[in-house]
Amino acid sequence: MITTIVPRPAVDFPGAERSRPAGLTAEAAFIGRSITHSLRDTEALIMAVVLPTLLMLLFTSVFGGALDPSGDYVDYVVPGIILLCAGFGSSSTALYVSRDMTTGIIDRFRTMPLRASAVLTGHVVASVLRNLVATGVVIGVALLVGFRPTASAWDWLAAVALIALYILAITTLFAAIGLAASSPDAANAYGFILLFLPYLSSAFVPLETLPAWLAWFAEHQPITPVIEAIRSLLMGTPMGDAAWWAVGWCVVVVAVAAVWGTWLFRRRASRR
């Protein structure tokens, strides 16, 4: 076998060379950066705690009595509120990504010998961690207002894994939206549409109570199987094939958003 050695061009310029960061050093640096961003975004942090609390109180005390007079509505609504909060929490990813793409900081990374897309990895990983913490807050508040799950330790583990997968899916989608948007403000506006989906699912009312056309949409959109699967794991309602649909939808969304995002990231590079 013949091995061709391509010689690196000789350097006879004064100065030092940048070396390519080893292994996952770049990813680690960007994850650290995004976590710092999350911790310093006071507004978003307050939202992450206040929003679940308010929503929980709103749905259990204000709407709950009318929706389910038995007083057990909290047991029904918790999965929905978890997803709603995860959606809000992930939406800031679109803003962070768009900000990076429009301020010129991305050009600095792109002119260095590293995977510039690691910036996106940083934002996505930080969002998943941030929203898992927010999910913890939701569950904590829920327990305080009378949430009584019947789940075993394994059920809990499976539920948390599914929630993490859902957060990953919606975050990747928000990251791609951040890449597609022309400005951080536009990114915020597009993202808002996604935040509406949980309302049109089985999150707050059973599908049977919806008008036929809406019930059809709610049954076939990705949020419903995720909610039903979490509800089944935590409350022991029938699972059916919800788990498969839930995992399938999330994997498809991650894959589509990743491909779309990669394409957008490359296209933005060549467009200026």
Partner 1 sequence: MTLAIDARGIAKRFRSTEVLRDLDLAVEAGTVFGLLGPNGSGKTTTINILTTLVRPDAGTAVVAGADVRTDPDAVRARISLTGQSAAVDEVLTARENLLMLARLSGLGRREAASRCAELLERFDLADAAGRRVGTYSGGMRRRLDLALSLVVPTPVVFLDEPTTGLDARSRQELWCIIREVADAGATVFLTTQYLEEADRLADRIAVLDGGRIAAEGTPSDLKAQVGGAVVELRGADDALLAELPTDDSVHGLRAAVDALDRHPASAVPGAHVAIRRPSLDDVFLAITADPAETDGASLIGAKG
Least separation in angstroms between CB 166 and partner 1: 27
Q: C-alpha angle 63/77/235, rounded to 5°?
A: 140
Among 47, 248, 261, 258, which Cα is nearest to 162's? Answer: 248
Near partner 1 in 112-141, by CB under 8 A = 112-114
Binding-site size for partner 1 (CB under 8 A) equals 39
Q: Does 23 bind partner 1 (CB under 8 A)?
A: no
Least separation in angstroms between CB 103 and partner 1: 6
Stretch binding partner 1 (CB under 8 A), from 36-44, 153-161, 211-219, 233-241: 36-44
Tokens representing 24 are 């996952």
Stretch binding partner 1 (CB under 8 A), from 20-28, 43-51, 79-87, 225-233: 20-28
DSSP string, 35-97: HHHHHH-HHHHHHHHHHHHHHHHIIIIIIHHHH-TTS-HHHHHHHHHHHHHHHHHHHHHHHHH
Least separation in angstroms between CB 47 and partner 1: 17
Neighbour-count burial for 13-49, b at 16+ CB within 10 Å, e otherwise = eeeeeeeebeeeebbeebbeebbebbeebeebeebbb
Q: Does 94 bind partner 1 (CB under 8 A)?
A: no
Q: Let me know if 215 is exposed, middle or buried by CB neighbors in 10 A (0-12, 13-18, 19+).
A: middle
Q: Does 40 bind partner 1 (CB under 8 A)?
A: yes
Structural contact between residues 81 and 147, judged by C-beta atoms closer than 8 angstroms = no
Least separation in angstroms between CB 137 and partner 1: 23
d(CA 12, CA 2): 30
Stretch binding partner 1 (CB under 8 A), from 26-34, 73-81, 177-185, 193-201: 26-34
d(CA 225, CA 238): 12
Residue with Cβ nearer partner 1 (37 or 130): 37
Residues 1, 13, 69, 70: which binds partner 1 (CB under 8 A)? 13
Near partner 1 in 41-80, by CB under 8 A = 41
Q: Does 267 bind partner 1 (CB under 8 A)?
A: no
Residues 103, 152, 183, 209: which binds partner 1 (CB under 8 A)? 103
Near partner 1 in 197-256, by CB under 8 A = none
Tokens representing 237 are 């309602």
Residue with Cβ nearer partner 1 (3 or 111): 111
Interacting residues with partner 1 (CB under 8 A): 8-22, 25-26, 29, 32-33, 36-37, 40-41, 103-105, 107-114, 269-272
